[in-house]
Amino acid sequence: MMKYSMLVMIAACGGGGAMQAMPDAASHDAMRDASRPVDSEPSTCPDGEDTPASCGPECKRCPQPGHSENGCSNGTCTFTCDSGYHTCSTGCCLDFQSIAVGGPQACGVRSDGALLCWGGDTGNLKAGISQGFTSGIASVALGDQSTCVLTTGGAVQCWGRGDEGELGNGGTADSSTPVAVIGLGSGVTAIAAGDDFFCALTTAGGVKCWGHAGEGQLGDGTANELVATPVQVYASGVAAIGASYEAACAVMTTGAVNCWGDHTLTNNDSGPVAVNISNAVAITGGDTHICALTNAGTVECFGDNFYGPLGDGTNNDADLSSPTQSAIANVTQIAGGDGFTCATSAGAAMCWGGGGEGEIGDDDTANALSPVGVTGLQSGVTQVATGIAALSACALVNGGIWCWGWNNAGQVGDQTTGNQRNTPVQVLGI
């Protein structure tokens, strides 16, 4: 049988054998089984390619992108994953670049721009390509029952529930397939999801929002019930955006934070109002709380603190005029959920707040008033994600995705439903 390397010893593990010349690169490419996906490598090579019986001192695994063939163990060819790939349940899978969680669903954008999702009301337990997006996606934002994506070309498309205008296409009909958001065919750098509204950040530093507006969350100075096309909040001057259940916020290029909508326990503002934070670089919102990441790596939060999502060791609420500082340092990224908050700190995943559904990830169901480490995820974490109506969370770890918490619709990605996960599990098949 023809082998993968230029010259290889044909033998059982530890045995001897004869030398055999190998084909050139073109012949090798012709041998490859084109039907086998990059991320679907079997645990051992099929008979006739490279079986454990032929595994020798120079063991070569069946040719497959993403794998570095590197040895033989107990008669089986072993492997490591190439750069740009991570170890997954099917062998080596392409790395992911970002993740998002929203209600009963989670999604990831792969390094090749493909969008993969799992969970949700449709009972999609197995992670797979969503809406045919095999490439071209930069990021995804998940509302309660609608989804928007930002393409690599700077356009925004949405699908799902549309009765509040959250699809941004000028109508109020639901859509099972992506529709273009009016006026956002290019020039967008980030998107953020509330319950039933979305906001976009433009290359000019402007902000536009659309969808439900009853609490002033579109920021245009009105409180219309819905606006089905984007309205302008800022023309320029914004560096980052975030949203909570019924509010949105902007981090200005100066580091100041302004919010609009139902952003505190007592105020509904239809236009931006200042928050007493002056050195922010990022902003996130949960169900009824908002947190900002500062340039010092600290986190400042305000809002409802009944379950402890503000992370200051108390249950005391905080107003936007006097945010409280969470008991955590060296933070690089934050995400707000339904009554809890998560962050990355020095490569570790940390969460705090409500824990009744396992959303803290520390193998407990107690609330955590201060940040605690997520079990098993204390290094290699580059992003955490949760959502405004989510009782689960996910982390991007060395290119792979791990999730924990509520699993009523399969959103933790282990292809089961009904049982919460109090510690992280790796999303299967990706």
Kindly list the domain boundaries of the chain, sorted by start residue: 7-88, 106-334+381-390
Question: In this model, does residue 52 exceed pLDDT 80?
Answer: no
Q: Tell me which amino acid residue 201 is.
A: L
The whole-number pLDDT of residue 42 equals 39
Sign of CA dihedral 24, 26, 31, 36: positive
**Least confident stretch, 36-45, 104-113, 242-251, 374-383:** 36-45
| Residue 418 vs residue 332, higher pLDDT | 332
SS3 assignment, position 101: strand
Q: CA-CA distances (angstroms) from residue 288 to 124, 177, 195, 340, 388?
A: 29, 30, 11, 10, 8
Q: Which two tokens stand for residue 357?
A: 């559904």
Considering Cα of 361, then 366, then 367, then 373, what sign does the dihedral take?
negative
Q: How far is it, in rounded angstroms, from Cα 288 to Cα 114?
A: 32
Q: What is the pLDDT of residues 279-331, one digit of tens each?
A: 999 999 999 999 999 999 999 999 999 999 999 999 999 999 999 999 999 99
- Candidates 3.20.20.450, 1.10.760.10, 2.130.10.30, 2.60.40.1260; correct CATH number of 106-334+381-390? 2.130.10.30
Confidence check: pLDDT of 3 > 50: no
pTM (two decimals): 0.85
Instruction: Give 43's pLDDT tier (boundaries 50, 70, 90).
Output: very low
